[in-house]
Every structure is written in structure tokens, then in C-alpha cells.
Chain A
Amino acid sequence: MNAFAYVTAQTPESAIELARDDGRFLAGGMDLLGELKESLAAPKTLVNVKALPGTADVQLDGGKCRLGANVTLAKLAAHPELRRVLPGLTEAAAEVGSPQIRHRATVGGNLAQHSRCWYYRHRDVHCRKKGGTLCYARQGESKFHSLFTGCMCLSPAVSNLAIALAALDARVIVQRGRSTDSLTVAQLYASAWNTPSAHNSLQPGELILRIEIPAPAGLRSAYLQLSEKSDFDWALVSCSAAAKVTGQTLTGVRVVLGAVAPIPWQVDAANAFLEGKPLTDETARRAAELMLRDALPAGDNAYKLPIARALVRRTLLQLVA
């Protein structure tokens, strides 16, 4: 680990300013400290953003939820109102890491976390994500990698919150210079598909401030993941879905798969297929097929296909359960 300066920012604008010269933002530190210790990152400055006013608040009113970027995953997972209104989100938070991790990790950090690919995280492998020429996973140990492989880096998006928030059509409010931008989750991740070195679309010095989630009456949401272990393990595949449910009929449907592509995987055709239809085992199966239509498994990960099929079906069925 290299030496670095440590400063605490009091406003979003000053946080951006302080990070301008090769700085990184520090909130829970769950992702960043690992990168520092493995010498994957060597920032000159760590800008503590935990003191930014209002960023640890949860607000739920008028059919809208605002989550500050510094809300911990433990707080999110245990929030009684959110568990009732946005169960897909709170379940996603509850599946992250261990209790210790969830008490440190934040909403912003979970969304902005870097690749967990074991080649990327390895101190002695210079892969394409780190500016090298090879994606080692492409012909290597790709068990945990992407199913959708028409991209340059097979490292999948593993943020549980990104999957749930994409299903909930949330907006991510990002400080960019002196102004803020409102991004969809798809926009937040788009660069990870197009640019092998990118983990998401945030540029250096851009900071997630809060999340805004529409929570209209009648909205249902669900999140399921399948890991090798029962607890404290990354998802092999995760799935989240949200829709307005009237009887068994879904409207405004969004289904999202995680850990199968560098971005939260969304397929408009699957959402459109489900729109306005009563959900049955059969329509859920058809939606799963549409979700996976373009999958091109790497060497070791075709097993994710049946898991993804099962999770899409089960997650959708949970919406009407």
C-alpha cells in the first residue's frame, strides 16, 4: 500500500475538488481498502465522504424513496418501511457479504464497486481491465464470469443493489463537477460493457450522492440470488423483478439479471412480453428464455443458464405470490 493523504469533505463540491488530483472517495471502504492492499490502486488522496450532510438518510414519502449514498446496507436491509414497500431492494441488501460488511458497506459503494473478477483482483495478473492485452477469463477459469460475452472483459456486474435498483427503475444522482446528473442504472453501468477498463460509467472525481426510487401504490418487487454457499458468498446469478400487480397481471414490468454480464442485464423484449399479461409459470418461463436469448457462455459457465432460468421464473412468481 502506498502512502496517501486523508481528508474529510464537508460538501459534495469540495469532495470533488479534493479528489481532483488522483483521489478516491472513501465511504465504507469495503471495496477500496482491498484494492489499496493489493496495490491495485494507489491514490494520492483518500477523500472521506461519510460526513456529507444528509447522505445517510432514508426518506420515504409521496410514492418516492430517497436513499443517501452513505446509508449502510445493514440499515437498508433492516428498515421496516422499506422492507414492506421495496422488498426487492432490502432483500438484495441483506444478501451482501456478512453482517460485519453490511454494517460498513454503503449504498453508494455497493453501486460503484469494482470488478470482483479473480484475475482483476490478483496482484500478479495484468489483465485487460488493468490495461493489459488479455482477458484471462476468456480462455481461463470463467466459472464466475459473464454469460453475455460480446464484450472485451468478462467480469460481471456483481452489485446486488444495481440489480434491484434497475428493476425498480431508480435514478442515481451523481455529482459531476459543480452540477448533478440523474442516471438510470443502465446509464450508470453502460461503460462497463463498452470499455474493458471501466467498472461503471463514473469518471474519476464523480460521486454518487443519492438514489431516487419511484414507489407507487401497488408496486411489488423481489430479489433472489443463488450462491455456492448459503451465506456470505457472491451470487452465481442474481435476479430482481418489479411490477405493478393487479390480480395476477403485471404492468410496468422490469426483470434484471445480475452476475451474468458486465452490466445489469435487461432485455426489453422480456419486459414487453410480460406487460399486461397475467403471470403464469409458462409466461415466466418464456420471459426467462427471452432474457437469455443472446447468452454466449464462456468455457466454464454454461451452468449459469439453468440457474438464471430458474431464478427469473421464481422471482417473477414471487411478485404475484
Chain B
Amino acid sequence: MPWPKETKYLGKSTPRAEGPAKVSGRAKFTTDVAPAGVLFGAILRSTWAAARIKSIDLTAAQAAPGIKAALLVHNGEYLTRYYGDELAALAGTSRQAVLDALRLIKVDAEPLPFVVKELDAIKPDAAQVFAGRPNQGNNPARDSGRPDDAFAAAAAVVEGSFATQIELHQSMEPHAYAVSFEGDEMTAWASTQGVFAVRDGYARNLGLPQNKVRVICEHMGGGFGAKSSLSIEGELCAKLAQAAGAPVKLVLTRFEESLATGNRPSSFQKLKLAADKDGKLTAFQMDGFGTPGYMASAPNGGGSNGVALPMPYLYRVPNSRVKQSAVAINAGVACAMRAPAHPPAAYGMEGILDDLAVKLALDPVAIRLLNDPSEVRRHELEVGAEKFGWKAKYQKPGSSPGPVKVGIGCASAAWMSGGRGTQAEAQISSDGTVEIRVGTQDLGTGSRTVVQVVAAEMLGIDPALVTARVGDTRYPPSGGSGGSATTASVSPAIFDLCEKAVEELKKTSGLDDPRGANWKAACAKIGATPLAVTGRWRDGLSTGGAGGVQFAEVEVDTETGFVKLRKILAVHDCGTVVNRLTCESQINGGVIMGIGYALYEQRVMDRRSGVLLNPNFETYKLPGIGDIPAIELLLLDMPERGVIGIGEPCTVPTAAAIANAVANALGVRVPSLPITPDKVLAALGQVPDNGDRAAQVRDLEGAFARVAGAERPILLTETPA
């Protein structure tokens, strides 16, 4: 790859370009946008988990003080299928006016039976989310090789049950839109991972010409996959603006964020893994299911959204049988979330692999070195184990003395990543400053700084001379920020742009090399008309295929079930490191998100009322500063591979590594995430069972049997209380 070997900025640390604006409050997020006469929008949501909506009367709300627009999401009679579903929207002169008026909307609804838990939904007598259609899909098994023969011939076979929770994105900034029409031109400010996707969504859904819609996202507070395209609140915001004839801003609350903006689907995995006597994997079997929300059983079949896990994950097992299905429940739908399907896959596969290592009396690192097909990752395992002090620290499961037990674990990640078409344009002025415009957006990963660093490196100038402008559909197009593709998409376009700039400047200035020390002199020859150049992504500067290995050390109080993290070591490769500071920041964030998945976060639904019980940060628990241990990073800098994104692989193995460390500490496995004190104590046999837990285990076994298509009928007659 043509990236320079000796660098001044590339791979070094440059502070975030927008850092001062953010910490001083000058940075304008969508919620700060205030076009003259802006109205506030808000949404009326279903308070039923399932109901027939017969009519919605907006009259009183429309007549309320300050209300300028009111609209229905659907007309006529229809079914609503989850608590939080959008029913109507209002815009008015103040937030308070709109909230007051929401309470005046009369909804005539007939409540219908519902089901909000996966294990209830798969029972034969469960309420059906879509009438006449089973809640659980029935996908064929995917077989390779001869799994039955291989299990029969194996030296060791282990089985285990692993479950993961519904995780919510919980970006710091909620979904937010502001829309203004002037004549036939529309401007939308959106907190989005894809300004062009939102533009096209508006054009399509509102019947507007694409060239009349401008979407701006100057700064945003995270998205994690939930802000990839135009969402319903964005569409409602624009329709309210049209109806009111005035700009409208619509910012969701934390409560709404929890209900209806996407989530990571749950998983229930029954896994079976076999190896020969040396630990070489020979056979794998999985029966699994999970819920992506209410759409899973919809007639259009388009709702299984990320439930299927890539199993047996990153290992090559010659004989396997994988059967997975999606289960519908009356709850909000899933969407892409940071490394979709990978963290639950890693939790299951890396867990059962550790159980197999224990059975064969093999070291967990050794069994991975034996079975991981990736040379890069095997290297990461070796250097990571060395840095972590794995050999000295590893003890047999459950063997550390005293009530507070120490354990270590490791787990691996794979991610495709890769770059794609991005274009950029620059104006170079006679004072030597450079303005680069690229229509990507800064999801929070530091896109502007990436532009600055690459340009500064290629032009041999101070990054302070480069101003990067992003987040506007009036700039040259770039794709959505998803799949960890942004840096690998943007950097090559800037590289290309800089090459062209140097060629142009050679001609303009007559200098052989206008870069570096000659830059000012070369630019001085530009004159009154700035030099304009464009660049575009090209092959050969970025690749895909990132890996990573993480190591965790924990202590577990066996009297209280409390898990305390001592240390995480994250070893990752991302080819050419563009900006080390923001790259490390990404990995820290990924690890912290993984800690939340491992120990704290979970959406809780209520069986009887159908509501989501924890739509807030009080009981939807995110890791705080006291929960985060020392995080050590080890980055393999491999310029020969080009630029590779890091945003997703870094969150994949954290929970799996922590879960393995807890299992190593305890000598028993906690069979689901998050690993909370109640589950630790239950796994240790310290919680008296009043029958509920036994019933849950029966339900789970019944569910797995159904997925597997067991010959014996599964008769579960219990109904939810």
C-alpha cells in the first residue's frame, strides 16, 4: 500500500479538531438548531402492547393553546403491536404546550392479547403478534460435513446454554431532527450516521426532488447503528413542518429512545462443541433463537433483523449443524447495533470453547492458537497473553482461595469492515490554508481529524492549516457511517485529493516539490482564485478484515455475587493507524460498551402490563466511571494493509472475555448476560428456588427442543400469570 512508512502525523496523535468547540459548548448539535419561528414537535405513542386503534380524535389537541399542527401516523382502523408505537404527532409554540396537548388526544382503542417475553411467545398457546401466524419462525438447519458422526467420534464433547439480553443503543444524544422549508427547498438538521441516506429518505417519503433536500449533521452524540437512515420521527418532523408552515424541531426523550428506536436482538443459544484429544475442533451444533421485536412474524417476512448469529463464529469447524429462528414479541424492533450479531456470537462461541478447554485440561489461549484460522489474530493472542501475564495468572477454574475469587479470560473478534466510495473537494488558498469538504458525517469518531491528519501528512503541512468540513449533503458524497467503514472510506479520498493537489501546485508554482518546507512559497503563487481539486476513494489504500483479542481479569465476591473488573487488555489490528488518539478512544469506548453488555445493561419488559420497565438510566444500567477498570491497549500498526476501521471489532469480544473470566473465577458458568449478582449467586447454588427458576429452565429447554424440531412434542400448558 502506498501509505508512507516514515510519518509525521499519520499513526501519531492529533487532538480532535472539534474538541474545543465541544467542551466549551460552542458545538451546535441538532437540538441547538433554532431557525426563526421554530416549533416544537412531539409524538403520541401507544400505551398498549397490542390494540386495535379504532379512531384517534385530534380535535381538542388542535384547539389547545399554541398548537400549530397535528397529524396521524395512520388513517382508519389498524392494529398497534407494541408499547411505544407512534400514533400521532403535534407541533406547537413551546415544548410545554405540545406536551400538554398530547394529553388531550383521545384514542379509541380495543386492547388485544399480547406477549412480551421470548419464552412466553414460543409457547403453543401464546398470543400471536400477527394473528394466524406463529410467533416463532422455522428456518431449516444449515449443515456442513457430518456432525452426528463427528460428535460420536470426538474425544470430548461439551454442551451449554448461553443467553444474551436485549441491549439498547443509548446514544448520549437522542434521535433529533429540525426541518425548515423555504419555498420548495427543504433543509433538515439531523442527528444521523448518513446525511445522504436521510436526504434520499426524505425525497422518497415526502415526494420531493433529491436536489431540493439538504441534510446537515454538524455534530452528533453517537448513533451506534440506530441512526443510519431516515427514521419515523424525522419523517413526522418534516410533515409537521409542512402542515404548520413553519420550521419544526423534534427531539426524542430518553423514555422514547428506549421504546422505539431500535435495539440489539436477544439470543438464546444451545451449543454443543466437540474436539479431538489435542483440542482441534471437529463438530459444532447450535439451536438458537432470539427476538428482533414485533416484526419477526410479519407477513412480509422482513423482520428477522439480525437474530441469526454467524456461528461457529470465527472458527472453522469441519462438521456443523446450525439452526436459528426469530421470535416475535410485542416490542420495538431491532436494528443494526455496533457489530450486529457479533457480541452475542462471541459470548456463546468463546464460552463453549472455554468449557471445552476445561474438559480437555487445555489452556484457553492454547486451544485458540490451535483453532483460529487467522494468522494476525494468533499473533494477537501470543503478544496479548505475554503482555497480560496469562501464563503466570491462569489457574484452574474456581481454584483461587477465599470468598473473593479471581479469574481471567480471553475472547476474540472478527469484523469485515472495509472502505467504499467517498469523494472530497478542496480549495487551497494563497495563504497556504486548505479547506476540505467531504459529505461524510462525524459519528463521534473524529472524521474531521482524520481528514486533517491525512492531508497534513500528504502535503507535509501543519494540521492546523487544514479545515475539514463534513456533515452536509452539499459536499461531495460519502456513504453512511456503518460497518466501521468511515475512516477507510474517507482517508483514501483525501490521499487521492492530496496527490492531485500536489500535481496542480507543481504546475502553478513551478516548484518540483510544493510540499513541506516549500508549501507556503508554492501557495503564494496561487493568486486570487483558490486552487480547487477533487479526490475520490480508490482501491489499494484500505482493506477489510480486522480482528482483535481481549483479555479480562475479574474478581467475584462469592458471598454477594458482585463482579469487579480488575483489568482489560485489548489487542487490535486496524492496518494503518490514521490518528492514534481517536483510534484508542474508539477502542476504549468499545470496551466500555462491552462492559455494559457483560455486566449491567438489559431491557426489561413487563409480562402483565406489556410496558418496558426501565426506559431510563436509573434502571437501564450503563457503566459509570467507577465500573471501568484499567483498559490497556495494544495496537498492531500494519501500514502494509492500508486503512481498516476499528469501531465495531473493539466491542465484540469484551463481554465474552469477561464472562470467561467470571467462569474461570467461579468454576461454574453464569449462563446469560448481563452477569449480575443474582445470577452469580444462582450459578453458585446459593439462591433458594421457589420453583420459578426450575420453570424457567423447563421453558428454555422446551424452546430449544422446538427450534431443533425435536420429535417429542413439547407440551407447555403453563400460561403467564
Contact = CB atoms under 8 A, between A and B. Distances in A.
Interface of A: 1, 98, 116, 118-119, 122, 124-125, 134, 136, 139-141, 143-144, 226, 228-234, 236, 297, 299-303, 305-307, 309-311
Contact of A231 (B611, B624, B678): B624
A301 B96 CA distance: 39
Contacts of B692: 299-300
A228 B676 contact: yes
24 contacts: A118-B613, A124-B47, A124-B609, A125-B611, A140-B606, A140-B609, A226-B560, A226-B562, A229-B600, A229-B627, A230-B624, A230-B627, A231-B625, A232-B626, A299-B690, A302-B690, A303-B678, A303-B682, A303-B686, A305-B688, A306-B559, A307-B560, A310-B557, A311-B560
Contacts of B608: 134, 136, 139-140
B677 A228 contact: yes
Contacts of B599: 228
B627 A231 contact: yes
Given A229-B627, A307-B677, 6 more contacts: A140-B609, A228-B621, A303-B677, A305-B688, A307-B559, A310-B557
A141 B613 contact: yes
A306 B678 CA distance: 10
B655 to A, nearest CB: 15
A305 B690 CA distance: 13
Interface in B675-696: 676-678, 681-682, 686-690, 692
Nearest to A134: B608
A125 B615 CA distance: 13
B668 interface: no
B564 interface: yes
User: Interface residue tally of chain B, by bracket?
Assistant: 35 or more
A297 B621 contact: no
B627 A136 contact: no
Interface string B608-640: 110101100011010111110000000000000
Contact of A300 (B627, B677, B678): B678
Contacts of B606: 119, 125, 136, 140-141
Contacts of B564: 230
A213 to B, nearest CB: 28
B533 interface: no
B721 interface: yes
Contacts of B600: 228-229
B677 A229 contact: no
Contacts of A232: 624, 626
B465 interface: no
Nearest to B721: A139
A218 to B, nearest CB: 29
B561 interface: yes
A6 B623 CA distance: 37
A141 B564 CA distance: 25
Contact of B560 (A140, A301, A302, A310): A310
Nearest to B629: A230
A286 B561 CA distance: 21
A302 B626 contact: no
Contacts of A302: 687-690
Contacts of A125: 606, 609, 611
B99 interface: yes
B607 interface: yes
Interface in B42-57: 47
Nearest to B48: A124
Contacts of B64: none
A1 B98 CA distance: 11
B581 interface: no
Given A302-B690, A307-B560, A229 B621 contact: yes
B604 interface: yes
Residue in A98, A141, A143, A297 with the greatest tally of chain B CB atoms within 10 Å: A141
Given A140-B607, A236-B677, A122 B47 contact: no
Contacts of B687: 302-303, 305-306
A98 B617 CA distance: 12
A307 B621 contact: no
A203 to B, nearest CB: 28
A148 to B, nearest CB: 15
A113 to B, nearest CB: 13
A197 B643 CA distance: 61
Contacts of B677: 226, 228, 236, 303, 307
A160 B5 CA distance: 59
Contacts of B626: 229-232
A311 B621 CA distance: 23
Contacts of A233: 621
A118 B255 CA distance: 13
Residue in A122, A136, A309 with the greatest tally of chain B CB atoms within 10 Å: A122
A235 B599 CA distance: 16
A306 B611 contact: no
A303 B613 contact: no
B690 A297 contact: yes
